[in-house]
Structure 1
Amino acid sequence: MALSTEQQTKMWAMLNQTRGQIGLTAYKDYIFGILFYKYLSEKATHWLEGESRGDTWENIYSKDSARALHRMRMKLGYAIQPNDFFADWKKAIDEDKFNIGMMTDAFGHFNQQVAFEAKGDFEGIFDGMRFDSADLGANAQARASVMISMIELLSSPEFDLSGDDTVSGIYEYLVAQFATVLASDMGQYYTPKEISDVMARILTYGREDEESFSIYDPTVGSGSLLLTTASYMKNSHKRGMIKYFGQEKDATPYRLSRMNLMMHGVEYNDININHADTLESDWPDGVVDGKDTPRMFDAVMANPPYSAYWNNKDREDDSRWREYGIAPRTKADYGFLLHCLYHLEDNGRMAIILPHGVLFRGAAESRIRKSLIDKHQIEAVIGFPDKMFLNTPISVCVLILRKNRIESDILFVDASKGFEKLKKQNKLRSEDVEKIVDTVINRKEIEKYSHVATLDEIKENDHNLNIPRYVDTFEEEEPIDLVALSAEIVALNSEIEKVEGEFLTLLDGLAITPDTMDIIEATKAVFR
């Protein structure tokens, strides 16, 4: 069940009321961590209800703890001991027996009970929470008070996790809210849903019914691009049908992405998120027995940091860039693009969000761009409105690429004019999304909106892909009717004279005193 606007507003208001003096940057790690642990607790409880045959978990555990924990680990990828459930914390609070050590012990036990196969999915996932941190309070009592407020908040009806749609809805809403409020901290990890939808629908077009599909995001952030792409695959709800791969160098989004995937119902053995710098460390299984054997994916999508600095020294032999050239040290954009292309299946498709500068900048980027064009690998270039993103006001473009295209033309779409203007941001409407997707999939030519440029056209422009060179959006102003304008000016002057006369008449009617004489005479002088 999707969250209503009223639910969302109340949820965020309650969260702000309960966080006390803790800054949102620190608070987010705890609220996400505890919400995720509540989800895991309730998932384990639900499994136990079907396995226990009326017996209690405490009794099953007491008979053979090792066997009981093993059974839960094999099914869920983790195990939770009796008295370590989220509900146990709430019960202790209600009975005035809670202490912060209960949470420390529970997370310690949890880390010990993760299945070997699930280590990569759960490793360090709760590291953002430090129960001895001064962020929570000056002493144990103050810190316990903050934890109690969070547990009670997440126990309220607004945070009822019954149903996968509700769980994912709550998580997505909180990620979006924190990204909005903490744009400088989280904005770079959050892609507007409308742009995600455009990319996902293009990437999965014609392959929605496939039995298996692999998707990869090398700058995975919160995991939203992976989830949105998977949502357009008809078998996304079936275990093992969709395989999710991602890489993220920053610890916070690395944790959030794994939580996000699991809280959307993705099984741990379908998740493979790696904690590393994509440009520094290629996907882990790139070299086997000294031979380069990169893993390839059916769809690759990315929203990398724009024009980031990177270490581009001694990269000439790296197979990701060897055929094209090395991106400049101060602008890693093409480094990310070529990484994505390198890991794309021969029949796959990729989409990447980048600043418009990649379309026309010179030097090394020009050479890379020319090589991509000459290999026919750029399929479409889509320009979006400015102020779409939380962390930057600039407009961005999405490049769609395929490895082995026969056609050499490129579709250009200028979608920068169609949007809804909000207070601080611009947002694509559903009709805007539909128009972009339909135009790209069907490669439509629409006046002042899209154009399919031939390779000769592109060569004539010296391989410059700046969208205005191919899509003319100039709108001529309507000619001015000088006769009508003159008549309007005469009428306005007449009206002004009439109003001024009426005002002077009113002044003549005022009683003149020594105190007001100078003011009235000065006012009349202005209108004479």
Structure 2
Amino acid sequence: MTETNQTSQSLYQALWNSADILRSKMDANDYKSYLLGMVFYKYLSDKMLFYVAETMEEETDDLNEALATYRKYYEGADSHDDLVDVVKDEMSYAIEPDLTFTALVNQINEGRFQLESLAQGFRNIEQDDELFENLFEDIDLYSKKLGATPQKQNQTIAAVMKELAVLDVAGHAGDMLGDAYEYLIGQFATDSGKKAGEFYTPQPVARLMTQIALSGREEVQGFTLYDATMGSGSLLLNAKRYSKSPNTISYFGQELNTSTYNLARMNMILHGVPIENQYLHNADTLDEDWPTQEPTNFDGVLMNPPYSAKWSADSGFLQDPRFSSFGTLAPKSKADFAFLLHGFYHLKQDGGVMAIVLPHGVLFRGNAEGKIRQALLEEGAIDTVIGLPANIFFNTSIPTTVIILKKNRRNRDVYFIDASQEFVKGKNQNIMNDDHIAKILEAYHKREDMDKFAHLASFEEIKENDYNLNIPRYVDTFEEEEVAPLSGIVQKINETNQRIDQQTAELKNLLGQLVGTTPEAQEELEKFVQGFKG
């Protein structure tokens, strides 16, 4: 198959443009399900057609040619059953020729497309393998939002499919489509604010956390990674970038929102994660522990939970092994430490590394949170605290912190990095670039004091601060302003007065040119000018 010369940027633009048809009809939180679901269906369809053409030794990069090959052998009395068996064995699904994305677009162009055909295609894939069960349940092709009548609904979906038809989703090398998928998720998060931002961690933060979790273990085979608030799965999937054995990573993830859970399932498939390496669960992380069967402790834990979420904090949780050793529970109004302790509980004793993003309040709030923080510090569990810039997330402008936790550390010191100024200003959000991330990672690995940027605090120092981890207590970023000489100040005052006199003279001149339209207006104007000159 020839590699497309379409750049990543033009691919992203084409995908984004295809959303224009739906933007006027619904908000981004709704239309993401339609658009991403159809992109995924096209991916499955195109991948299958090209696989069949290659298998039958009629390889091509033209989808219509591949469809013709598929149709020939699918409709052949001698070859039908064998072909379907081979395709299902390789793909775990087999789409009928007339229900492939390519065939449906041809029907659209010929004016005979029926929405029910796409709906049937969705149902067939869902029934082919448990991997795809209920995968398209969020896509209501008969929703009134798409149009008031069946005909209008048909037209809307047909228009979206025609836009998507130009994309070479199966022909791109590597993870380009998966990356484009994440690009779109990021765009949706920007477009719909908090609603969509709940399930997306900006890529720079995800890369920072993943590199820390994998640091020194890039060569490890069979690495296990867990995200108990996985959203779209993009935080987990970053591990593929940094592992030398990406196909051996096992991904464990849990997500409460069913739509977002389905999105993560699609994202895993798009990134080529083997089915046997996906362990995804749709449930409430805090209400009931998961996973409870082997494995339950992981090499890496990555989390970006909803900030200061409410939870039940029921007294029964004091007997829950995730929380029982701390003797208290995170407050009902702020579940931050409940999420942190859940992730920490599932971290391997030896060599496990956890990275979690939380608001700064967890570093210094008192009462139950103070007791939990003190217990973690006495245990030596908190390894590093990294302060991130404000306004880098899609759903909040508040500054956040990445906390690194480890079990069985030999000492109880804590390394503080103040990266709050490591950003460039963007149109809507502040942006951390590769240089910013590299600077943080270099400091993390050296674990040395760096003026106005990082400090290694001993346990005694932390104890003296009453177990308060507020970063400014440990990293002094105060910049003393340069005092200007008196002669320079006098000169600036004189220059300012000169500009005032010049602009006042110009204004008086303009006022002198004004003429009232009536005798009364003229009289009022003259009094005003006289008073101004006063």
Relative to the length of structure 1, the TM-score reads 0.90
SS at match of 1:398: strand
1:86 alignment counterpart: 101
1:317 alignment counterpart: 319
2:25 corresponds to which letter in structure 1?
Q
2:222 corresponds to which letter in structure 1?
S
1:283 alignment counterpart: 290
1:131 alignment counterpart: 141
Give the fraction of aligned pairs with identical amino acids, expressed as a percent: 37
Match of 1:363 among 360, 367, 388: 367
Match of 1:519 among 514, 519, 525: 525
- 2:340 aligned with 1:340: no
Q: CA deviation at 1:80?
A: 2.2
In structure 1, list runs of 5 or more residues that go unmatched. Answer: 288-292
2:35 alignment counterpart: 31
2:456 corresponds to which letter in structure 1?
V
1:440 alignment counterpart: 444
Measure the CA separation in 2 of the matches of 1:18 and 1:471.
48
Measure the CA separation in 1 of the matches of 2:70 and 2:510.
92
Match of 2:49 among 25, 38, 45: 45
SS at match of 1:266: coil
Match of 1:59 among 36, 60, 73: 73
1:59 corresponds to which letter in structure 2?
Y
2:65 alignment counterpart: none
Q: CA deviation at 1:398?
A: 0.5
Equivalent runs, 1:54-453 vs 2, <5 Å: 56=70, 59-60=73-74, 62-63=77-78, 67-114=82-129, 119=130, 121-157=131-167, 162-236=172-246, 238=247, 241-284=248-291, 286=292, 295-313=296-314, 314-324=316-326, 325-346=328-349, 347-453=351-457
Measure the CA separation in 1 of the matches of 2:285 and 2:57.
48
SS at match of 1:445: coil
1:101 corresponds to which letter in structure 2?
E
What root-mean-square deviation, in Å, do the aligned CA atoms of Structure 1 and Structure 2 show? 2.6
Measure the CA separation in 1 of the matches of 2:499 and 2:22.
61
Relative to the length of structure 2, the TM-score reads 0.89
SS at match of 1:219: coil
Are the structure 2 counterparts of residues 161 and 205 from structure 1 closer, same or farther at C-alpha, using a change threshold of 3 Å?
same
Measure the CA separation in 1 of the matches of 2:23 and 2:528.
61
1:34 corresponds to which letter in structure 2?
M
Q: Is the 8 A contact 1:504 1:524 kept in 2?
A: no
Measure the CA separation in 2 of the matches of 1:152 and 1:489.
66
SS at match of 1:345: coil
Q: CA deviation at 1:375?
A: 0.8
Deviations 1:141-181 (A, max 9, x none): 11111121121111024767533343123212211111110
SS at match of 1:272: strand
Q: Which moved more, 1:131-140 or 1:350-359?
A: 131-140
Q: Is the 8 A contact 1:161 1:167 kept in 2?
A: no
In structure 2, list runs of 5 or more residues that go unmatched. Answer: 59-68
Q: CA deviation at 1:306?
A: 0.8
SS at match of 2:102: helix
SS at match of 2:240: helix
Are the structure 2 counterparts of residues 155 and 504 from structure 1 closer, same or farther at C-alpha, using a change threshold of 3 Å?
closer
2:61 alignment counterpart: none
Are the structure 2 counterparts of residues 501 and 272 from structure 1 closer, same or farther at C-alpha, using a change threshold of 3 Å?
closer
Are the structure 2 counterparts of residues 452 and 141 from structure 1 closer, same or farther at C-alpha, using a change threshold of 3 Å?
same
2:90 corresponds to which letter in structure 1?
K
Q: Is the 8 A contact 2:15 2:164 kept in 1?
A: no
Measure the CA separation in 2 of the matches of 1:489 and 1:277.
64
2:477 alignment counterpart: 473
Are the structure 2 counterparts of residues 330 and 493 from structure 1 closer, same or farther at C-alpha, using a change threshold of 3 Å?
closer
Measure the CA separation in 1 of the matches of 2:96 and 2:459.
64
2:64 alignment counterpart: none
1:311 corresponds to which letter in structure 2?
S
Q: Which moved more, 1:488-497 or 1:136-145?
A: 488-497
Q: CA deviation at 1:364?
A: 1.2
Are the structure 2 counterparts of residues 276 and 147 from structure 1 closer, same or farther at C-alpha, using a change threshold of 3 Å?
same
Measure the CA separation in 2 of the matches of 1:37 and 1:465.
48
Measure the CA separation in 1 of the matches of 2:242 and 2:397.
29
Q: CA deviation at 1:434?
A: 1.0
Are the structure 2 counterparts of residues 522 and 13 from structure 1 closer, same or farther at C-alpha, using a change threshold of 3 Å?
same
Measure the CA separation in 1 of the matches of 2:510 and 2:109.
76
Measure the CA separation in 2 of the matches of 1:124 and 1:86.
19
Are the structure 2 counterparts of residues 142 and 493 from structure 1 closer, same or farther at C-alpha, using a change threshold of 3 Å?
closer
1:290 alignment counterpart: none
SS at match of 1:344: coil
Q: Is the 8 A contact 2:189 2:197 kept in 1?
A: yes
Are the structure 2 counterparts of residues 45 and 360 from structure 1 closer, same or farther at C-alpha, using a change threshold of 3 Å?
same
Are the structure 2 counterparts of residues 399 and 504 from structure 1 closer, same or farther at C-alpha, using a change threshold of 3 Å?
closer
Q: Which moved more, 1:131-140 or 1:3-12?
A: 3-12
Q: CA deviation at 1:417?
A: 1.4
Q: Is the 8 A contact 1:244 1:272 kept in 2?
A: yes
Are the structure 2 counterparts of residues 499 and 106 from structure 1 closer, same or farther at C-alpha, using a change threshold of 3 Å?
closer
Q: Which moved more, 1:471-480 or 1:220-229?
A: 471-480
Q: CA deviation at 1:303?
A: 0.3
Measure the CA separation in 2 of the matches of 1:455 and 1:8.
48
SS at match of 2:324: coil
SS at match of 2:95: coil
Q: CA deviation at 1:34?
A: 1.1
Measure the CA separation in 1 of the matches of 2:119 and 2:90.
25
1:257 corresponds to which letter in structure 2?
A
Are the structure 2 counterparts of residues 299 and 17 from structure 1 closer, same or farther at C-alpha, using a change threshold of 3 Å?
same
SS at match of 1:451: strand
SS at match of 2:319: coil
